[in-house]
Structure 1
């Protein structure tokens, strides 16, 4: 589970609802603080995550001249979703992304970023229609299904969700936390994570968890989406998709490659300054 350093957005950002042709989505909307508006970025979070996972990126990216919109997808945290797992089919979630892009209007070049599960949804969106986007960044998001160890973790979570309440599952998650993680996490931060967890829709977690464990390799399809510039960004360690697998995916996509030193599966929270610099540097080329 991603652990953002805070759930409080910086002064440059507001929490609001983004109205689209496919419903309303909760977003954090950060406006450029630089004199020049260089474009807009749409950021999609990963499995069990939320828009708050990008909070530490908002200020440096706004200072670089970008409007940054981080979104809760359908059924994630502050965006409502139905109890029907069919509502979270990948093509439907990709359609949501295209609707969000349309709702953002003409704010200059639109850069799409997806973290982990969000990367696979972003990939599906641009395969459906790449025309709204100036670039695509896949952040710690691999070519196909997650690693066997992570598949087992998702299966355990999914099995628990079918027989336990969200509160009961949360307590089970806490019991599996490493002692050093539990000791280092402030009570306020733990309560933020609990509140977020309880507002996730279980149907969304079940459907997207299944996607992560069965996702086919769609790299060739994505590589054929041209002339869209692509960027593969990750930490230097990753237990969800091994880094050599991400290196190979970048080669297959002819993509720009960034490895953020000192980061693991969530460079957006592990090393936000370095991650923001890499994103802004890539976007500035387009």
Structure 2
């Protein structure tokens, strides 16, 4: 059964991996490799439902998962359980479980980009490349999250959602997001807000891994400073792309273009690792 009653593409399978809920789509036709999508702050596996399905149509076995404390994934108690190190270790564990001898194409959205970057630095041998989607160098995320964290500490994640949506849930997507806020861990929210505020820039460490990197964002991304994303790409020597007709969620706003961009990056000759 889908979480929050959200309609999912027919090609997606639901499963659980060590308490983390996940989506999977088998490659259509000849398999070309495996991809893993990591969601961002207040997100979940469903944020990448379209990319997982579309990438599978292009021959990539694709997965997304909800990080610990997100939606219906396992939610240990205590803010320390949501450190960047532990979140990155989860990413590595999931990648190793799905790899089956292949290197994994890793995509992290927003805060998920910081988690994915930390995972790539921790175990570069597991990954073929890294895409940071609407994500920056660290410590430069949306400033309002400090106030959001203070509100959640007092009232909880559901009250935070209701405060920001006084008209309530008016469609299927908003019903889902409300249910996700209700189910997600307050400790997760508080810890991730701190990561967005305090995570150091580890661009040099990422560059030293030798992994190919793609930095991409929507042309109207209003959540993470575009200038910092571009500067990070230059520092990394990364490929840099702007996704048209998209804001901070190109995975939702323009999934077809985003998938084509990823497909081209994953297929490019610059890769040293095995797909």
| TM-score normalised by length of structure 1 | 0.88
1:240–1:167 Cα change, 3 Å: closer
| Corresponding residue SS for 1:145 | coil
Q: Which residue in 2 is equivalent to 1:81? A: 75
Question: 1:40–1:66: 8 Å Cα contact kept in structure 2?
Answer: yes
The aligned runs of 1:150-189 (5 Å cut-off) are 150-151=142-143, 153-175=144-166, 186-189=170-173
Question: 2:152–2:159: 8 Å Cα contact kept in structure 1?
Answer: no
Deviation at 1:193, TM superposition (A): 1.1
Deviation at 1:186, TM superposition (A): 4.2
| Corresponding residue SS for 2:155 | coil
Deviation at 1:107, TM superposition (A): 6.0
In structure 2, list runs of 5 or more residues that go unmatched.
Answer: none
Partners of 1:9 and 1:109 lie apart in 2 by: 27
Partners of 2:172 and 2:246 lie apart in 1 by: 24
Q: Which residue in 1 is equivalent to 2:265? A: 282
1:107–1:276 Cα change, 3 Å: farther
The aligned runs of 1:1-286 (5 Å cut-off) are 7-18=6-17, 23-33=18-28, 35-106=29-100, 108-147=102-141, 150-151=142-143, 153-175=144-166, 186-226=170-210, 228-285=211-268, 286=271
| Corresponding residue SS for 1:239 | coil
Runs of 4+, deviation exceeding 4 Å: none
Partners of 1:266 and 1:215 lie apart in 2 by: 21
1:144–1:105 Cα change, 3 Å: closer
How many corresponding residue pairs? 265
RMSD over aligned Cα atoms: 1.7
Partners of 2:180 and 2:145 lie apart in 1 by: 18
In structure 1, list runs of 5 or more residues that go unmatched.
Answer: 1-5
Partners of 2:71 and 2:181 lie apart in 1 by: 7
Partners of 1:140 and 1:188 lie apart in 2 by: 25
